[in-house]
Structure 1
Amino acid sequence: MPTGIAFLMVIYYFCLMQDTYKTIEQAAEGYITEKKSKFFSFVFHVESPGEVKRIVEEHRKRYYDARHVCWAYMLGPEREEYRSNDDGEPSGTAGKPILGQINSYGLTNVLIIVVRYFGGTLLGTSGLIKAYREAAEDAISHAQIVERTVESTLTIQFGYLLLNDVMRVLKQFENVTWEQDFKESCTMKLRIRKSEFQRLYDILSRIYGVKIEKG
């Protein structure tokens, strides 16, 4: 196999094995001042754009008298879904520095909001970037960062005579959990770490009579 293709395959399988990500445990707050402007920052654990929208709207109402309510978020274990908003500040001076801090700490499933009360002195482009970056960082510094595991699921169906065979397989995996329904036949919904999913799938596939459905 050519070296270039081999390298790409190594990268591909390495990415498949990545099954942890960093986020925060609970909401936290931060605060800085810059030339009499006040920057109140808030960091939240979020799971969806809808949750982001709700929290941002709540803060717009709560801080209705603030000059700007700027924010950024990152979603998903692969950290591929993100967005930032300057809320009237010069383009790139608020949302991007906030998002930059999320990236700097390698976080995901996180929303950071920075509320600014204008102090009467213009900060300029560099001053705004610095202020929003430091405000976002201060909120993160007060949060507890945790590592979470990415899980995959599969559903299996089989007859009662195969139950012992299936259980022997499951006992080989420390990180597998399941829900079961043993009424008319045996149905089990399994959850396992992403990095171990394919091995579990392959072993179960070798048991004749076990039907497997991914997801």
Structure 2
Amino acid sequence: MSDRYPVPKGRHRVSESIRRSRFVTTVGPAPDEEVARAFIEEVRDEFSDATHNCWAFVAGPPGSTARVGMSDDGEPHQTAGRPMLNALLHSGVGEVVAVVTRYYGGVKLGRGGLGRAYSGGVQLALASLPLVERVDRVPVRIRLGYDAVDAVLRLLEEHGVERVSDDWGRRVTLELAVPCDDLERVVREVRDCTAGTADVVVEPEGS
């Protein structure tokens, strides 16, 4: 079964001032925990002079708590990382990391004010975050004759199949990445389109 869900297209940043403190929220892709933590370190290095660099990530589907992380980075316990994580978990966006950088302006916000500021920064960034659809894909190899290539290529384009590589030898070999939820249909239509003359091999996962 395939998972399709929105993920960040790239790095995105917003900022706001709340009672003389400046909050800068940076959001980006987090396909796994290693990428998320590398993103966090980059932002921390960029804003090394800030009072706090609080963060949270969801390195999985929207709402999944299987691979998450958070940090208050010196703010009172659960006033930053937890509200940020909750905002991410309820956003409907997957594989996402957020760092909220705070430059303290001399006015204390209190625990409730801090929670609202950090969660609000994440929500503000997510509201304008460019997204793309994340699609599970499976590698497939097709070998076919030249007479069927044009028709098969049109079919593959209709189904959003990615062409990884081509080999134009005695027969044409297409290395593809097929959306999992379209796999059976694509294989069936390729075989129908080529009257069964195409060799279609679905590669084992992780090959």
TM-score w.r.t. length of structure 1: 0.71
Aligned to 2:139: 154
Equivalent position of 2:94 in the other structure: 108
The structure 2 residue matched to 1:123, chosen from 102, 105, 109, is 109
2-structure distance, mates of 1:43, 1:186: 42
Matched, 1:63 2:11: no
Residue matched to 1:24 = 8
1:52 partnered with 2:41:
no
Match of 1:86 in 2: 72
Return the match for 1:212 from 174, 192, 201.
201
Residues 22/157 of structure 1: CA separation in 2 closer, same or farther (3 Å cut):
closer
Which residue identity is paired with 1:106?
G
Match of 2:174 in 1: 188
Shift of 1:209: 7.5
Alignment gaps of 5+ in structure 2: none
Instruction: Answer 1 or 2: which has greater helix percent.
Output: 1
* Structure 1 unaligned spans of 5+: 1-15
Give 1:94 deviation, angstroms: 0.9
Q: 1:43 corresponds to which residue?
A: 27
Q: Do the aligned partners of residues 39 and 111 (structure 1) sit closer, same or farther apart at CA in structure 2, a change above 3 Å counting?
A: same
CA deviation map 1:139-174 (0-9, x unaligned): 223433x341514133325464xx657876665551
Q: Is 1:133 matched up with 2:119?
A: yes
Letter in 2 for 1:155: V
TM-score, normalised on structure 2? 0.73
Q: What is the aligned-residue identity percentage?
A: 25
Q: Do the aligned partners of 2:63 and 2:89 also contact (CA within 8 Å) in 1?
A: no
